[in-house]
Amino acid sequence: MNRLPSNGRNVPQKAKKQLEWSLRSGRDLLAIDAHISPGNPVAAEQVVNYIISQAELLTRFPLTGRIPKPGAPRELGFTRYPYNLIYRVTRTKVRIVRVIHQSRLYP
């Protein structure tokens, strides 16, 4: 069911952007899984699934993250797990560039 604004007219839903993972960001996810899995495979799966779900949310809300400095990619930090998604937004897609631990600096 569509929600109607107070004036009674339908408001078109925002188009969902396509999600794209860079090769490097895919490797980042694998490294996170490999780092956590030996001690707790269930936790590793939870962390990776959380990161993926947050990336998928960016397809609907791409401007959620902050821009740390002009010209830099956007950055979405998590409070639940100590990782940041580094991403760029184009007219049609959200491209995940990196997934990095918050203790590391991203150039």
CATH of the domain at 76: 3.30.2310.20
Per the structure, the count of domains in the chain is 1
Give a yes or no: residue 2 inside a domain. no
Please give the single-letter amino acid code of residue 31: A
**Cα–Cα distances in angstroms (integers) from residue 83 to residues 7, 19, 24, 76, in the given order:** 42, 19, 15, 9
Looking at residue 3, its pLDDT comes to 45
Q: What does the DSSP 8-state code read for residue 68?
A: S
What does the pLDDT look like over 19-77, one tens digit per residue?
A: 999 999 999 999 999 999 999 999 999 999 999 999 999 999 999 999 999 999 999 99
